[in-house]
Structure 1
Amino acid sequence: MLGKLFGKKFGKAKAELKKVENRDLMEAIVGGCILVAAADGEIEKTELDKIDQLIRSNKNLDHFGSEITATLGRFTEQLNAGFRVGRMNIMREIEDIKSNPLDAEEVFVNMITIAEADGEIEAGELKVLSEVGRLLGLRLADFGIEG
């Protein structure tokens, strides 16, 4: 009985630790994707739906559930309230993961996926990708994008 009790508590603690570990990644992916979606001056519902779908399909982030939607909403509100302030907050979230090359690549590839969702990467989206790529120490050419 004691083993079962500690087993359940250990399992819960492990799940919570995983959430804490991946929160920066989740926030960086959500923020980066929202920045790309906002590159043309407007965040469309179809873009939000695509971001939500993309993130929910990520096995490293599936345990966040409704927190993903809340984060999407928070970043969208920040950008709509004051684009420069929202952008600054999102860039800080992205900067949180730059020391982990795998996370940096994951954030960047998710952003590219959103940029390519309509079939082409537009000039505004390319500018956002370039800025984030520099921040993360990545080169667009390494991802098949001409900058």
Structure 2
Amino acid sequence: MSIAGTFTNWLKSTKVGLQDQVKKFQNRDFLDAVVAGCALVAAADGSIDSSEKQKMAAYIGRSEELKVFNMNDVIARFNHFVSGFEFDHGVGKMEALKVIGKYKNNSDAARIVVSVCCAIGAADGHFDEQEKSVVREICAVVNLNPAEFQL
């Protein structure tokens, strides 16, 4: 099986039950970590353009995993993190990684954040190398092995 096929199979199997796992951690800090990860993946190429914002909004709107959160809260927090990237990419990235880093000692929650980031990276059918690189950085921040996520 090809690497892409293996990754696709992993992504499908990971998505099963992810919503129930997200419900266990349904709180503001976890919402921030998930949405910060979404913003990091969207900004992987150095900027977040309108098509990336639309992709993120569409994914969030149809995502079974994120339906446990109030959509207005999700969008407000996403816009908060995006504004950090728009102000200064490096500062926005550090803020997002700091929020995600709160879960470095909670591997269950960290795995969910990384899994959602992988799903967002692949939402357009192409999980490109820049997006994978950002998710690898997230893995490093939360002390997870990127290989666990086929990265």
Fold shared per TM-score above 0.5: yes
Which structure 2 segments of 5+ residues have no match?
1-22
- Larger Cα Rg: Structure 1 or Structure 2? 1
Which secondary structure state, in structure 1, belongs to the residue aligned with residue 83 of structure 2? helix
Partner residue of 1:24? 29
> Shift of residue 86 of structure 1?
0.7
Aligned residues: 127
More helix by share: 1
Give RMSD over aligned pairs. 2.3
> Shift of residue 130 of structure 1?
1.3
Percent identical residues: 31
> Shift of residue 37 of structure 1?
0.9
TM-score normalised by structure 1 residue count: 0.73
Partner residue of 2:115? 109
Q: Deviations over 1:74-131 (max 9, x none)?
A: 1111101101111111111101122222210111011111211233322221221111
Q: Which amino acid aligns with 2:47?
A: E
Partner residue of 1:34 out of 36, 39, 51 = 39
1:26–1:61: 8 Å Cα contact kept in structure 2? no
Which structure 1 segments of 5+ residues have no match?
1-17
Q: Which amino acid aligns with 1:130?
A: R
Partner residue of 1:95? 101
TM-score normalised by structure 2 residue count: 0.72
Q: Which amino acid aligns with 2:38?
A: C
Partner residue of 1:68 out of 53, 74, 78 = 74
State how far apart, in whole Å, the 1-side matches of 2:97 and 2:54 are: 22
2:38–2:117: 8 Å Cα contact kept in structure 1? yes
